Amino acid sequence: MWELDPASGLVQRTFRAGQLPVGLVFLADPLWVTTQVDGELRRIDVRSGETESVLPLGHRLGDLAAANRRLFVAVRGP
């Protein structure tokens, strides 16, 4: 996953986000990412670029949404 400079479009840095990241959302400071292949929900500290935690949910995950300090994850299949 890349962080881009919005003015120039140049890559500023990269983040390890698992295989086939499909959903991204900020909830407070961390960035949350779902991966379709791994079936993981990752919490990334954008200041350091490090993955803080990985939650293996075991499903093909889709997009994410955040509302009222809650995180919602779309699941593709049983």
1-59 confidence digits (pLDDT tens):
899 999 999 999 998 888 889 999 998 889 999 988 889 999 999 889 899 999 998 88
Q: What pLDDT is recorded for position 38?
A: 86
The structure's pTM equals 0.85
Q: What pLDDT is recorded for position 28?
A: 83
Q: What pLDDT is recorded for position 60?
A: 82
The residue behind tokens 């919005």 is 6
pLDDT band at 67 (very low <50, low <70, confident <90, very high): very high
